[in-house]
Amino acid sequence: MREIALVYLDRSGGLQKFVHDCKKYNDSKQSCAVYRFIISINPSDIAELDATLGNYILHNPIQAAQIFQSVCFVAVKTLSLIEQLQTEAQISVLLKPTHLPPLPSYILSLAAFPFNYTSQRFYMSEGIAMAMGTVTKYTQGARFLCTEETCPFSEGFRYIRVHLPGATESATVRSDFVCSLCSSPLQEDMKFRVLSDKQIVEMIDAKVLNALKGYSGDQSHCRIQTFTVFLR
């Protein structure tokens, strides 16, 4: 699937954009804990190229991003795009679909049952923004070092924590991480913390408009409540 991902990036122009983004990182001459790349993908084009990869992207986007992460790392090393990059873990890839299949199973409606809380695939959701919070910072990536000075992992970029969709802040930055080699505590290198913006939005299903207009529908009882969306 890595070979197919590379072919798609080359044909879609994504590889050229990736090289351009790498140039901006390389020109800065500043070593980062995490180098973030947003890759636009067309699920239909990928499915025609390779159905397995297309389905993998639609239903396992986090794992599919790791495939593109490996491809991007090989490209960086092969073409010497970012001199400061040391490990594959320093590359963070966000897959951004241009659209999703126009099928009911890809539409997330919190007014319909049953709920599927375990799935981490892509969904489309439509609603009305009822309230918006202020833009705040969150930790997008961080570098940790082993506190044991004689340990090989007391330097370098062996331990990189990157925020994943759906994760809490404590999953990225905590004080109880330990070294997998010597079991010593890990300490964050604050100089390499990568911050980004997040905003919380309270939304409500668009069906609430029918209730406000006085439409009763077929159901005798109807309950609609807001849900929280994190924009990062």
Domains, the chain, in order of start with CATH, read 1-101 (3.30.1640), 137-194 (no CATH)
Average pLDDT over residues 47-70: 94
**Is-contact 34 141, C-beta < 8 A?**
yes
Which amino acid is it at 137?
K
Q: How confident is the model at residue 169 (pLDDT cuts 50, 70, 90)?
A: confident
Q: Per-residue pLDDT for 216 more than 60?
A: no
> CB within 8 A of 108, min separation 6: which ones?
123, 124, 125
Q: How confident is the model at residue 223 (pLDDT cuts 50, 70, 90)?
A: confident
- What digits encode the pLDDT tens for the residues 112-159? 666 666 778 888 888 899 999 999 999 999 999 999 999 999 999 999
Check residues 6 and 119 and name the one with the higher pLDDT. 6
Q: With CA atoms as reference, report the closest residue to 8 among 60, 72, 81.
A: 72
Q: Give the pLDDT score at 217.
A: 58
14-28 helix and 61-79 helix, angle to the nearest 10 degrees = 60
The two tokens of residue 10 are: 């080359």
Q: How confident is the model at residue 224 (pLDDT cuts 50, 70, 90)?
A: confident
Q: Is the peptide bond before 102 cis (omega within 30 degrees of 0)?
A: no
Q: Give the pLDDT score at 213.
A: 72
Average pLDDT over residues 42-64: 93
Q: Give the pLDDT score at 29.
A: 79
* Residue that is written with structure tokens 């397995």 in the block: 52
Distance of CA 212 to the CA centre of its chain: 36
| Percent of all residues in the chain with a pLDDT value above 70, rounded to a whole number | 93
Query: Which segment of 15-24, 104-113, 119-128 scores lowest on mean pLDDT?
Result: 104-113
**Is-contact 105 170, C-beta < 8 A?**
no
The mean pLDDT value of the chain amounts to: 89
Q: Give the pLDDT score at 134.
A: 97
Q: Per-residue pLDDT for 51 more than 90?
A: yes
| Percent of all residues in the chain with a pLDDT value above 90, rounded to a whole number | 69
Q: Per-residue pLDDT for 214 more than 80?
A: no
Q: What is the pTM of this model?
A: 0.85
- SS3 for the chain is CHHHHHHHHHHHCHHHHHHHHHHHHHHHCCCCCCEEEEEEECHHHHHHHCHHHHHHHHHCHHHHHHHHHHHHHHHHHHHCCCCCCCCHHHEEEEEEECCCCCCHHHECCCCCCCCCCCCCCCCECCEEEEEECCCEEEEEEEEEEECCCCCHHHCCCCEEEECCCCCCHHHCCCCCCECCCCCCEEEECHHHCEEEEEEEEEEEECCHHHHHCCCCCCCCCCCCCCEEEEEC
CA 88 → CA 34, 74, 152, distances in Å?
10, 9, 18
Average pLDDT over residues 91-114: 84
Q: Give the pLDDT score at 157.
A: 92
